[in-house]
Structure formats: C-alpha cells, structure tokens
Amino acid sequence: MTGAHELPQSERAEGLHKKNAGLPEEEHIDESSSVGAGTLSVDPDGDSGVGDLGTVESSTTSLSSSMYETVEENGRTYHKYKEGSYLLPNDENELSRLDLQHHLCKLTLHGKSHLAPLKDPKNVLDFGTGTGIWAIEFADEYPEANVLGTDLSPILPAYVPPNCRFEIDDAQDDWLYQEKFDYIHGRLLAMCFADPLPIFRKAYNSLNPGGYFEMFDFDARFRYIDDSGAGTPLSKWSEMMVSGAEKLGRIITHAPNHKRYFEEAGFVDLVEERFQWPLNPWPKGKYHKTLGLWYNQDLHEGMEGITMAVFTRVYGKKKEEVQEIVKEVLKDVDDRNIHSYLALFVVYGRKPE
C-alpha cells in the first residue's frame, strides 16, 4: 500500500480492517495481468477456489462551518450543502464502505489507480472524491503532482500528503479553477448526475492540451448471464432503484454511453475497458471470485444506505419497511444460484494538443 497507510489510521480505517477480515487482499491478484475482466462463467464446484484467497491486512481544508452540517433522515445523515443532490448518506458507516469500495476498485484494475497513460502529471483533479482515499494514494504515487479532491461533503481524512488538498464543491456548478489540469479523474458517480455530458464538457475545458480525463463508473441495473434472476426480489429492487432514482432526477444507467459522451465532448484517442462485479463468488476463476467476495461485502455494508432515500422519498416506504426489503434482497445477493453482476466501464480520452 502507499505511504498514507503506513501512518497511524483513523478509527474508520481500523474498523475497516476488523470488519473485512477474511476478504482477499489486493496483493493476491496478479498485477502483471493485462487489464481486463475476462468472461463470467458459473463455477460448478461452488466454493472451489475461495478458501485460498487470503485475508485483508488491511486535511487540509478551510471551510465555513455551515458546510460541515448534515441532515438526519431515517437514522442516516446526508450532506447539508446542496441538500438532496446526492442520494446516499455520508455517515461513518457509509464512509467505511467507500474505503472498502476503493480496494474493490483497485482489485478490479489489478492494483492500478488509473488506466490512462499518464506522463508526469502536474495538476490533478479528483471530483466526487468521497473519503479522499484515491486522491491521497495518487498523491503518494505521483509526489510531483498537485492533487485536488472535491466533493459535496466535507472530506476529513486523518492523513493528507503535502501535495494533496480538498475542497467542497459541486461538479454541476461552473468549474472556476484557477489552474488547468493534466489529468481529471471521476469514479463511481452514477448516483450524482442526471446528465453527465455537461460534466464531461467541463472536464474538457478544464484540461491542458494533451491532458487526460478518465471515468470509472457502473450501470446500476443488475445484469444476469442467464434467467436465474427472473422474478426475484433482487431483480425487482434493481428496477425500482433505477426508476425511483430517475424520479428524483438521477439517471443511474449512463455508464454504457460514456464513451460516446467523451467523443461528443471533444476527446480523442478514446479507450473503453469493461469489467464485472459478481454479487458473490458464483463465477469460475480466482479473479472474479475475489471481486465477488468484496462486492458481496460492499452490498451488505451499503444496501440499506443505497435503498433508504429512494424508497422512502419516491415509494413512500417507512424505514422499517425498507429494512425488511433489504433483508430479502440480501438473501438473493448471497444466493450463488442467482448469477448476477454489476457492469462497470472505464473510459479515458485525451484533449487534443
């Protein structure tokens, strides 16, 4: 891991290690592998290959006090600044899950923090930075770069490298940065925007000529390699999430169109890589089993937070009703006879010289 993790960690990070003991760690994935997900296929031997996957070993900012405020809803806290713009909570449980998800993303990319072919980037922007863990690790990886992380929620990591800083900002507002960037990064932001194309155009305008923009995102509708999900609570939940988020002004299925949006924004030399996160270790192969173990834990940590705002605001469900729905859905998440996965897309492109 990077230098950021060699220093004393916050209680959240320590809790992450304890909660996720038994999950495979990044170093057990062959980082020399070519980037790419391969093809999902069912493991007929069930647990075969799971037991040897190993275990996890697992700011600076100057802001007005009002920007630190949160609002409470159904026992979860949400950002106060631009209230309602983001559908997921920002409490400690969610922040811990986001750190877990960061490791899942690194596993997906075989230990890489990015796929764009960067050469000595000087100014870097990570918008929608979440807990800031990607920005911190990137700053350690590229000590000559100045890394800025932005988010709607205040970012307060325990350790920040001297070449990394954080600001509260809404990517949907005008981008008024004083500097131009050599690399702009966004990850897992499907819940954030009704239309990502204007965001991609802002990224284009904020890059230096020759700079790269990269998005790592998901299509929120669960997919299946067969008919094993038909009529299940999982399938119904997925469709309700997509429809409910749209009613709240968020289209969460844009990722398959990102490459086209990049082109429309003016980027060239476009590359798209596709990946899958199985919902549990049902597929064959160590790589997909590992991702399935981590994503299963991610869903157990986050399913209530993902569901609560949409199902209470759109469908009028009570908190207790949502919790019962989540229990039923998580049974399907754990069922290895349901061959479901989340589709992910990494797209990067260059601003012409």
* Amino acid 191: pLDDT: 85
Contact 12, 92 (CB under 8 A): yes
* Amino acid 68: pLDDT: 52
* Amino acid 49: pLDDT: 52
Q: Digits of tens for pLDDT over the chain (353 positions)?
A: 333 333 333 344 444 444 454 565 443 333 333 455 567 888 776 655 555 444 333 333 344 444 555 556 555 555 444 444 445 665 677 777 888 999 999 999 999 999 999 999 999 999 999 889 999 999 999 999 999 999 887 767 778 999 999 998 888 889 999 999 999 999 999 988 889 999 999 999 999 999 999 999 999 999 999 999 999 999 999 999 999 999 998 899 999 999 999 999 999 999 999 999 999 999 999 999 999 999 999 999 999 988 998 999 999 999 999 999 999 999 999 999 999 999 999 999 999 99
* Amino acid 61: pLDDT: 37
Give how far Cα 308 sits from Cα of 15, 132, 134, 304, Å.
23, 24, 26, 6
* Amino acid 76: pLDDT: 57
User: Whole-angstrom Cα distance, residue 274 to residue 286?
Assistant: 18
* Amino acid 128: pLDDT: 92
Q: Pick left, alpha or beta for residue 82 (phi over 0 → left; psi -120 to 50 → alpha; otherwise beta).
A: left
The residues, ordered by sequence, that sit 6+ positions from 189 with a Cβ below 8 Å of its Cβ are: 127, 128, 196, 215, 217
CATH assignment of 71-351, among 3.90.330.10, 2.60.120.560, 1.10.10.10, 3.40.50.150 = 3.40.50.150
Domain boundaries, the chain: 71-351
Select from 342, 346, 351, 185 the least CA-distant residue to 259. 346
Rg (CA), the chain: 20
